[in-house]
Structure 1
Amino acid sequence: MLGLGFHWFDVNVDIIFSGSNAMITPSKNLKPGTLDPSFGTDGVLLVPIPEISANNVPALCALPDNKLLAIMPLLGVRAPVVVVRLNEDGTLDTNFGDSGAGYTELPFMSGEALSGINALADGGALVRFRYPENGNVYSIIIKLRSDGTFNTTFGNNGVVRILGWNRSQQSEGAGSLQVNDEPLGRAQGGRRYSALEDPVGNIVLIDEIDFFGRARVVVNRLKSDGSFDENFNGGRAIVELPGVEYQWLLRGGFAVQSDGRVVATGVYGDDTYRGAFIVRFDNSGSPDAGFNNGAPVVIPTNADSRLGHVAVNMRQDGTERIVLAGYVASGGNYSGFMVVLDGDGYYDPLFNEGQPLYSKFSYGSFWWSNCNARNDGSIIAVGFGSNELHDGGTLTACYRDDGTLDSEFNDGQGFVVYAGPDGSRPPSDMADMDDRRIVISGSGFDRNNNWVLRYLG
Structure 2
Amino acid sequence: MTQPTSTAAAGTLDPSFADKGVLKFPIPEIFGIYTEALLALPSKKLLLGMTLLGEIGQRPTVVMRLNEDGSLDTEFGSDGAGFVEIPIKGAELEVHKLFGLGNGGWLVMGRYALRGSSGLYLVQYREDGQVDESFGEEGVRLLPFAGMGNPGDVGIGGEALGLRDEGPSTGAPQTSGGNGATAVQQLDGKILLVSAVRTESGQSKGTVLRLNPDGSTDYTFNGSGFAIVELEGIGAGDNFANVVAVQADGKVLVGGDFDLAGQNIRGVYVTRFDAMGRLDRSFNGGTVTVRNSSLIYLRAMDVREADGSIVAVGDALRAGVRNGLIFVLSEGGFFDFNFNRGQPLFSSLVPQGLEWWRCALQPDGSIIVAGTTGRGFATAEATVLTARFLSDGALDPVFNGSGFTIFDEDLTFESLQDMTRMPDGRIVGCGLTWIDRDPWAAIGGGWVIRYLA
State if a TM-score over 0.5 links the two structures. yes
Contact 1:47 1:448 in 2 (8 A): no
Q: Does 1:304 align with 2:295?
A: yes
Counterpart position of 1:403: 393
Give per-residue Cα distances to partners, 1:373-427, cap 9 Å, x unaligned: 222101000022139x9532211111111001112211x3111111124333320
Give per-residue Cα distances to partners, 1:336-367, cap 9 Å, x unaligned: 11111111111011000000000001222211
Under a length normalisation based on structure 2, what TM-score does the superposition of the two structures give? 0.86
RMSD of the TM alignment (CA)?
2.4
Structure 1 counterpart of 2:332, one-letter code: D
Percent sequence identity is 37
**Which residue of the other structure, out of 261, 267, 280, is the alignment partner of 1:275?**
267
Counterpart position of 2:164: none
Structure 2 counterpart of 1:418, one-letter code: F
Structure 2 counterpart of 1:274, one-letter code: R
Structure 2 counterpart of 1:278, one-letter code: V
Question: What is the rounded CA distance, in whole Å, between the counterparts of 1:421 and 1:396 in structure 2?
Answer: 18
Contact 2:93 2:113 in 1 (8 A): no
**Which residue of the other structure, out of 152, 156, 160, is the alignment partner of 1:172?**
156
Structure 1 pair 250/101, CA: closer, same or farther in 2 (3 Å)?
same
Give per-residue Cα distances to partners, 1:272-301, cap 9 Å, x unaligned: 331111101111111123211x33112221
Question: What is the rounded CA distance, in whole Å, between the counterparts of 2:432 and 2:452 in structure 1?
Answer: 21
Moved more, 280-289 or 134-143: 134-143
Question: What is the rounded CA distance, in whole Å, between the counterparts of 2:93 and 2:79 in structure 1?
Answer: 28
Counterpart position of 1:76: 54
Contact 2:91 2:114 in 1 (8 A): no
The size of the alignment, in residue pairs, is 417
| 3-state SS of paired residue (1:29) | coil
Q: Does 1:87 align with 2:67?
A: yes
Q: Does 1:235 align with 2:225?
A: yes
Deviation of the 1:449 alpha carbon? 4.4
Counterpart position of 2:206: 217
Counterpart position of 2:169: none
Q: Does 1:116 align with 2:97?
A: yes
- 1:293-442 aligned within 5 A: 294-315=285-306, 319-330=307-318, 332-386=320-374, 390-410=380-400, 412-442=401-431
Question: What is the rounded CA distance, in whole Å, between the counterparts of 1:39 and 1:69 in structure 2?
Answer: 15
- 1:38-49 aligned within 5 A: 38-49=16-27
Structure 2 counterpart of 1:281, one-letter code: F
Question: What is the rounded CA distance, in whole Å, between the counterparts of 2:148 and 2:192 in structure 1?
Answer: 23
Contact 2:3 2:12 in 1 (8 A): no
Deviation of the 1:82 alpha carbon? 0.7
Under a length normalisation based on structure 1, what TM-score does the superposition of the two structures give? 0.86
- 1:131-146 aligned within 5 A: 131-132=112-113, 137-146=118-127
| 3-state SS of paired residue (1:353) | helix
Deviation of the 1:79 alpha carbon? 1.7
| 3-state SS of paired residue (2:341) | helix
Question: What is the rounded CA distance, in whole Å, between the counterparts of 1:197 and 1:384 in structure 2?
Answer: 27
| 3-state SS of paired residue (2:430) | strand
Question: What is the rounded CA distance, in whole Å, between the counterparts of 2:65 and 2:138 in structure 1?
Answer: 21
Contact 1:215 1:249 in 2 (8 A): yes
Contact 1:393 1:423 in 2 (8 A): no
Deviation of the 1:109 alpha carbon? 6.0
Question: What is the rounded CA distance, in whole Å, between the counterparts of 1:378 and 1:369 in structure 2?
Answer: 17
Structure 2 counterpart of 1:102, one-letter code: G
Structure 1 pair 108/402, CA: closer, same or farther in 2 (3 Å)?
farther
Q: Does 1:98 align with 2:86?
A: no
Deviation of the 1:33 alpha carbon? 0.7
Structure 1 counterpart of 2:141, one-letter code: V
**Which residue of the other structure, out of 20, 23, 32, is the alignment partner of 2:2?**
23
Contact 1:199 1:259 in 2 (8 A): no
Question: What is the rounded CA distance, in whole Å, between the counterparts of 1:195 and 1:351 in structure 2?
Answer: 27
| 3-state SS of paired residue (1:422) | coil
Structure 2 counterpart of 1:283, one-letter code: A
Deviation of the 1:191 alpha carbon? 2.4
Structure 1 pair 228/169, CA: closer, same or farther in 2 (3 Å)?
closer
Deviation of the 1:214 alpha carbon? 2.1
Structure 2 counterpart of 1:380, one-letter code: I
Contact 1:218 1:237 in 2 (8 A): yes
Structure 1 counterpart of 2:312, one-letter code: L
Question: What is the rounded CA distance, in whole Å, between the counterparts of 2:447 and 2:297 in structure 1?
Answer: 26
Structure 2 counterpart of 1:325, one-letter code: V
Structure 1 counterpart of 2:81, one-letter code: A
